[in-house]
Structure 1
Amino acid sequence: MIQGIILSLLSIIFLLWIEQSVEVAYIWKTVAKMILFLILPLILFRKAEFPFLRLRQTDRKSMMTAIGSGVAIMGIIIIAFIFLQPFIDIDALLADLAGAGITTTTFPFIALYILFGNSMLEEFYFRGLLPNLVGESRIRFILPSFLFAIYHISIFLPWFNPTLLILAVTGLWVGGVIFQLANEKSGTILPSWIIHMSSDIGVLLIGVYIMYFY
């Protein structure tokens, strides 16, 4: 447990540093994330056997609940953006994306990665590996979700004012707990992955608006 927590903290700190202190293209940030969130854990914790990856064991009820929850969260994200858009520095957001190599040309390819690849990486790490290392303690709901929220500070920092940043991190923390609860019955990460992808669809639809129509 302690080893997993230390690894996660160091990984998140390193990724925060890459995101905010080193000017590198999105592809290199992605490579670093794959190493820290997937390859290194697969090597270090291979004896854990990763039972949460047995996706075929997911029951139908959990799947249907995940789909319904995902659609609801997607709607909430889009509605929240509509109301909060006047308080978001979209010009800074676009400049930050351009600096990372995300343009109108590359956006469709990056969007596909975010929807399928990035969501799987984060679910493997935050909803699979970390709760599995923590064990049956209630902290498995709180700590991985908190780290999930803190990790995303690096993404939101240039775009939001402090109030919106706090709201975003709090929302991600609560969302992380919901994601984890969705996995409880089946013991796999498929339900939370479905919800995560649905949430990403909402974000990417906003991205389409910002990139092509703003």
Structure 2
Amino acid sequence: MAIVDMVISPNYWIKSILKLSIFIGIPLLLNLRFNYIPFKKVFFFQRHQLRIPMLLAVGVYVVIVTTYLFIGELFDFSNVTRALETDVGVTKANFIFVAIYISLINALVEEFFFRGIAFISLKNESQRHIAYSFSSIAFSLYHVGIMYNWFEVSFFLLLMFALICAGLLFNWLNDHFNSLYPSWLVHACANLAINTIGLLLFSST
């Protein structure tokens, strides 16, 4: 995906198809041979378990948007909309559709790969701290290819650290609730908050 984002740079929908193939298609094909994905743990949940993740999801949304409103002027976000338009083909006209896809579908795809496989499956075959570290760091590094030219270096490094922390949080939710859905819910609301900021940035241009 780093090669797709940094070298090929297709439009968003072609990139999404490639991502679905790499993050879901290939792992499922490999699973036919190695049977390493614990589907019962990945897709099982009980409704009463979603109360805490729902509150956390709302809190994450509020914190991200509020933080941007208070300190957003301290950083240069001018490259974000320019990169989205020139590199990915995301514009004001299609931003809402992309935002809905990112918040719901893309978040689920990433949770399946980085938590369902790179954490839950790895945790079953290795030590817990290795699974925590590997999944969260891989989750952060994956976003390097997407956002490497969006921000100045200091903010970019801060963002990478924040993504590692987010990955650790998502891993903990999987570990605590034995399900993919709580982390997906929080991840979706985090993406929704980022998309809200993106909408504000597009509105100001």
User: Which residue of 51, 62, 83 maps to 2:40?
Assistant: 51
Partner residue of 1:3?
none
User: Relative to structure 2, which stretch is displaced further, 150-159 or 186-195?
Assistant: 150-159
Deviation at 1:53, TM superposition (A): 3.4
Q: In the alignment, is the contact (CA less than 8 A) between 1:120 and 1:193 conserved in 2?
A: yes
Alignment partner of 2:85: what SS?
helix
User: Which residue of 86, 109, 124 maps to 2:73?
Assistant: 86
The question of 1:32 aligning with 2:40 is answered no
Distance 1:88 1:202 in 2: 17
Identity of aligned residues (%): 24
Change (3 A) 1:211 1:86: same
Alignment partner of 2:177: what SS?
coil
Distance 2:184 2:122 in 1: 20
Distance 1:154 1:75 in 2: 27
User: Which residue of 137, 147, 159 maps to 2:138?
Assistant: 147
Alignment partner of 1:135: what SS?
helix
Change (3 A) 1:185 1:23: closer
Q: TM-score, normalised by structure 1?
A: 0.85
Deviation at 1:129, TM superposition (A): 1.2
User: Which residue of 50, 55, 73 maps to 1:63?
Assistant: 50
Partner residue of 2:123?
135
Distance 1:101 1:88 in 2: 24
Distance 1:52 1:37 in 2: 18
Distance 1:202 1:91 in 2: 18
Deviation at 1:87, TM superposition (A): 4.4
Distance 1:39 1:25 in 2: 20
Distance 1:179 1:132 in 2: 11
Partner residue of 1:95?
82
Alignment partner of 2:10: what SS?
coil
Partner residue of 2:106?
118
User: Relative to structure 2, which stretch is displaced further, 132-141 or 113-122?
Assistant: 132-141
Unpaired stretches in structure 2, ≥5 consecutive residues: none
The question of 1:198 aligning with 2:189 is answered yes
Unpaired stretches in structure 1, ≥5 consecutive residues: 1-14
Q: What is the root-mean-square deviation of aligned Cα atoms in Å?
A: 1.7
Deviation at 1:59, TM superposition (A): 5.4
Deviation at 1:82, TM superposition (A): 2.6
Distance 1:82 1:44 in 2: 44
Distance 1:202 1:208 in 2: 10
Distance 1:95 1:162 in 2: 17
Alignment partner of 1:192: what SS?
helix
The CA deviation string for residues 61-104 of structure 1, in whole angstroms up to 9 with x for no partner, is: x3111111112211221133234423443332111111211111
